[in-house]
Amino acid sequence: MKIKEDKYMKWFRLIAYTVIFFATIACLFPFLLIISASFTQNEAIIKDGYHFIPTVFSLEGYETVFRFPKQVLNAYGVTVYTTVVGTFIGLFLMTMAGYVLQRKDFKYRNFFSFIIYFTTLFGGGLVPWYILMTKYLKLTDTLTVLIAPGIMTPFLIILMKNFIRSAVPDEVVESAKIDGANDFTIYSRIVLQLSMPGIATVGLFLALHFWNDWFSSSLFINDTTKYQLQYYLYNVINAMSFVAQMGAGTGVSLGSDLPTESTKMAMSIIVTGPILFLYPFVQRYFVKGLTIGAVKG
């Protein structure tokens, strides 16, 4: 039997869908402008500004970025490697830490939780961190220095701990122990399965962190073959801007042949494209309640 909706609920749905529609359009407009500008001739952008449809179609922005394809693909490979490995290791360590810290039979859970929380309020600063990484750990010009600092984030550990506490009922864990399951079995077969929404959320945060990271490369990487994509493209933009400014300062048109604006937009698409395709595969876990019906009676 179909339940008849109240008229106020119909009006609420209509208003809600209208607001969501216009909010979606507002979010899509900037991205559409970037896509259009990346396929627009640089002179047309400077002369006519940005349009949703390219006024003069051109691939010069992408041609400039991929003028040295080996370097771009190498930077892509470094970024993909650090993102995949860093996200996997980070999820593994933070889910284990969250599971241990939320267990009531762990005697020192409050002490270690406070230590982790304390680091969110006070830190040693950039200079001691740099000295630790370069002088004592000897991680300069290694891929490890691009991964290790981001795999254990205090905020994400606390987030995972609270999610596991709410997602995994104590009754399920006790039932597993009665059936003879050890801690690792409970962790792998129960905690991870019931915590998929939280794991997906934390995993997306980690992936975004590693994918968008350029600061680590600027501090610790001198070998150009180990540049992350963000930092490599950042250097390309700086080089183009430097040439244009030198030309403007000397009165010589050094940067007239450099499509600076279209190249910036092409870089934005190249950088953000892969991570945008990742989101739809993770989004379904955000609203999925895996613990519904886990405890009966």
Task: Indicate which CATH number applies to the domain containing 106.
Answer: 1.10.3720.10
What's the mean pLDDT when you consider all of the chain? 82
Note whether residue 21 is domain-resident: no
Q: Tell me the per-residue pLDDT of 152-182, one tens digit each, with 9 for 90 and over.
A: 888 889 888 988 888 888 888 888 888 888 8
Whether the predicted pLDDT of 26 surpasses 50: yes
Query: Which candidate, 76, 95, 200, 219, places its Cα nearest to that of 157?
Result: 95
Whether the predicted pLDDT of 287 surpasses 60: no
CA atoms within 13 Å, Cβ hemisphere of 98: 30
pLDDT at 293: 38
Q: Which tokens belong to 142?
A: 């290694």
What's the whole-number mean pLDDT along residues 130-149? 91
Note whether residue 24 is domain-resident: no
pLDDT at 24: 87
pLDDT at 50: 83
Residue type, 119: T
Note whether residue 36 is domain-resident: no
Note whether residue 280 is domain-resident: yes
Whether the predicted pLDDT of 295 surpasses 60: no
pLDDT at 10: 83
Model confidence at 297, pLDDT cuts 50, 70, 90, reads: very low
Q: Which residues pair with 57 in a beta bridge?
A: 40
pTM score, whole prediction:
0.80
pLDDT at 92: 92
Decide if 128 contacts 68 (C-beta within 8 A): no
Alpha helical stretches, state H, 168-289? 170-178, 183-186, 192-194, 196-212, 215-220, 229-250, 260-286
How much of the chain exceeds pLDDT 90, in percent? Answer: 15
Better pLDDT: 247 or 239 = 239
pLDDT at 247: 57
Decide if 195 contacts 95 (C-beta within 8 A): yes
DSSP string, 128-157: HHHHIIIIIS--TTSTHHHHGGGS--HHHH
pLDDT at 248: 57
pLDDT at 147: 93
Q: Tell me the per-residue pLDDT of 60-72, one tens digit each, with 9 for 90 and over.
A: 888 888 887 888 8
pLDDT at 96: 92
Q: Tell me the per-residue pLDDT of 76-126, one tens digit each, with 9 for 90 and over.
A: 899 999 999 999 999 999 999 999 998 888 888 889 989 988 888 887 788
Domain count, the chain: 1
Note whether residue 229 is domain-resident: yes
CB atoms within 10 A of CB 94: 25
What's the whole-number mean pLDDT along residues 34-39? 88
Note whether residue 270 is domain-resident: yes
pLDDT at 288: 53
Q: Tell me the per-residue pLDDT of 12-24, one tens digit each, with 9 for 90 and over.
A: 888 989 999 999 8
How much of the chain exceeds pLDDT 70, in percent? Answer: 87
pLDDT at 3: 54
Buried/exposed 256-270: b ≥16 CB within 10 Å, e otherwise: eebbbbbbbbbbbbb
Dmax of the chain from CA atoms?
82
Q: Which residues pair with 40 in a beta bridge?
A: 57
Note whether residue 169 is domain-resident: yes
Note whether residue 134 is domain-resident: yes
**Which range marks the domain in which residue 266 is found?**
65-286
pLDDT at 286: 58
The residue whose two tokens read 């006070």 is: 122
Q: Which tokens belong to 28?
A: 């899509």
